[in-house]
Copies of this chain bind each other. A is one copy, B any other.
C-alpha cells in the first residue's frame, strides 16, 4: 500500500470545496485553506489515539476506534459551546493495518462527520509500529462567546449533562455522543464548562483550579446503570458536559444538579463533606 493508493481509498471521506464555500482548498495541496466567517472565533483541539495506550486492537473494531478518536475532539468543541466544522486526521499505520481496516476507521469517523456536518480537510499518512491517530478538530463560536473553565464563582450550581461511569462500566465499548447542541444552549448561561473526559473527580478539580474556587458535591451522584461510584468519579470518557450556572439563570433541560461552587482552596472538591482525590485517567 503506497501513499497514493491509500489517499485514493480515503478520498471519498474527505471534503472538496463547493460553490460559495468557507472551504477554499481541502486535501491535495501543501495546506488546506479556510475562509473564516465574520463575527466568529475559531476553536482548535488535538488528541492522540494510540494502539495499546488508548485502545486494544483485539478488543475493538476499526469503526469504534475511529468513532472514539473523533468523538474526543468534537466533545472538546462542545465544551466550549462551539460548532465543529473541520477535522485534520493523521494516521500512522501499524504493519497489521490493511486497507480495509483503514476504511473501517473512516467509516467510524463518518458516523460523526455526517451527524455533525464536520468535513475532513487534511491530515498526514505515514507508518509506525503501533497504530497512531491524531485528530485535530476546528470549530467556531460567536465572537467572545466561547465557554471557558475559569469563570465559576461561589454560589454557582454545578451540573452534569448525564449519568456517569457508563463508558468505564462497558469496558469502554459504548460510543458516547458529543454534547454539541447542549454546548450551544449553555452559551450565555454557564459561567464555566468543560467535558468529562478523564472522570468527574479529576475534571472538576481542574475546573475549580482554573476558576480559583472549591466545589461541594452532594449525593446521590448520577451513576450510570451497572457502573460503580468509582467508575462514575474516575472512569473517564463519558463526554458529558460539566458546567456551573448562577442560581438566577434557568439551566437548559436535561442537566442534573450535583453540587455548589464555594469559596475555598482552589481545586478542592468534596463529596458530602469528604475530600475527593483528583484521580482519573493520566496518559503519562
User: Across the interface, which residues of B come within 8 angstroms of A156, CB to CB?
Assistant: none
B146 touches A210 (CB 8 A): no
A47 at the interface (CB under 8 A from B): yes
- A270 at the B interface (CB under 8 A): no
A44 to chain B, nearest CB (A): 5
Q: How far is the CA of A139 from the CA of B36 in the complex (A)?
A: 12
Given A2-B284, A44-B138, A149-B29 contact (CB < 8 Å): yes
Q: Any chain B CB within 8 A of the CB of A124? A: yes
Whether the Cβ atoms of A47 and B93 lie closer than 8 Å is no
B122 with A30: CB separation less than 8 A: no
Q: Which residues of B contact A123 (CB under 8 A)?
A: 46
Q: Which of A125-133, A159-167, A225-233, A251-259 contacts B (4 or more CB under 8 A)?
A: A125-133
For A36, list chain B residues within 8 Å (CB).
36, 40-42
User: Is A80 at the interface (CB under 8 A from chain B)?
Assistant: yes
Compute how far the CA of A33 lies from the CA of B42 in the bound complex, rounded to whole angstroms: 6
User: Are A29 and B148 in contact, CB atoms less than 8 angstroms apart?
Assistant: yes
Q: Give the contacting residue for A53; candidates B28, B38, B42, B127; CB below 8 A.
A: B127
Top-4 shortest CB links A-B: A36-B36, A31-B43, A126-B283, A30-B79
